[in-house]
Amino acid sequence: MRKLLFALAGVVAMSAAQASATDYKIMAPAAPGGGWDQTARAMQTVLQDEKISNSVQVTNVPGAGGAIGIAQFVNTAKGDPSQLMISGFVMVGALLTNNSPVTLDQVTPIARLTGEYEALVVPANSDIKDMAGLVEKLKADPGSVSWGGGSAGGTDHITAGLIAKAVGVDPTKVNYIAFSGGGEALAAILGGQVTAGISGYGEFESQIKAGQLRLIGISSDERLEGIDAPTFKESGVDVAIQNWRMVAAAPGLSDEQKAAVGADVEKMAQSDAWKKILADKGWADTYLAGDAFAAQLKQDIDSTTAILKEIGLVK
């Protein structure tokens, strides 16, 4: 059904392109409930409420860290300025580990929107109380700690590998279980199916606040306001990582079309409604657009390739 939803994006987009340029279809290349999905829906809300666009539809195309979504996006959205896709750091790694025939070079990057830090959680009834407890278990038997998170080779997976490496455990021994979206991973963590969960803080926030999950560490450089947990560094694990999310447009757009989309996104990113949503969700505003973003993206792709090779995910 999710694939159908995607298909819908293509269908509606064509009509939209004919009817009005201010209708957008945003594809979240992940299952409902995850970070990209939330970003897409936040954009939907703001674009509509701020009257930047008449109608915005969000579609989900889950699978393989976004590789399925981007492949479909590149295939069907080409030249259509009304279609947008959410992407992010996770996709950079996923496309590399997957040897994906489609890469981020094939879409038109518009802007980086948000950044989010990785949160490490355990179920509330777990006997692991803090980072030290997890590290101890990990050192004793790396395989006995199963990490539930997003798709293989994504930020979550990379963070797990970096933590292992930082405490002197072979990163290739990390027992990482990939789920297709935040909702499914969260269910597995809540149900105690995996030892620990690793994902963006926003995906766990309401469960942490409800006392169903225990937050044992966060991947920021310094403690964050309103989040009651030590950073990895404070706990003696020298890892800091930020998971950024971006919005991209279809390939094959003219410069005017690019500029128009960019202007709409900029208007959205500067609205108070957008800033309020970022604050609510605990996402840092890391808006960056244009050539500066293109350069940053290229640098991120290069550094991710290096990290993935180091932890043995890409040969």
Write the DSSP string, 72-115.
HHHHH-TT-TTEEEEEEHHHHHHHHHTT-SS-GGGSEEEEEEEE
Cβ-contact 109, 294 below 8 angstroms: yes
By C-beta, is 145 or 237 nearer to another protein?
145
Tell me how far, at minimum, the Cβ of 293 lies from another protein, in Å: 25
**Phi, psi (deg, nearest 5) at residue 207:** -75, -35
By C-beta, is 289 or 311 nearer to another protein?
311
Tell me how far, at minimum, the Cβ of 221 lies from another protein, in Å: 28
Tell me how far, at minimum, the Cβ of 3 lies from another protein, in Å: 6
Tell me how far, at minimum, the Cβ of 273 lies from another protein, in Å: 13
By C-beta, is 67 or 104 nearer to another protein?
67
By C-beta, is 87 or 180 nearer to another protein?
180
Tell me how far, at minimum, the Cβ of 46 lies from another protein, in Å: 12
For 107, other C-beta atoms within 10 Å of its C-beta total 25
Pair type for strands 146-149 and 108-123? unpaired
Strand boundaries in the chain, DSSP class E? 24-28, 56-60, 83-88, 108-123, 146-149, 175-178, 196-200, 213-218, 242-249, 284-289
Closest by CA position to 126, among listed 118, 138, 134: 134
Tell me how far, at minimum, the Cβ of 220 lies from another protein, in Å: 23
**Phi, psi (deg, nearest 5) at residue 229:** -160, 150
By C-beta, is 6 or 244 nearer to another protein?
6
By C-beta, is 152 or 224 nearer to another protein?
152
- DSSP three-state, residue 219: coil
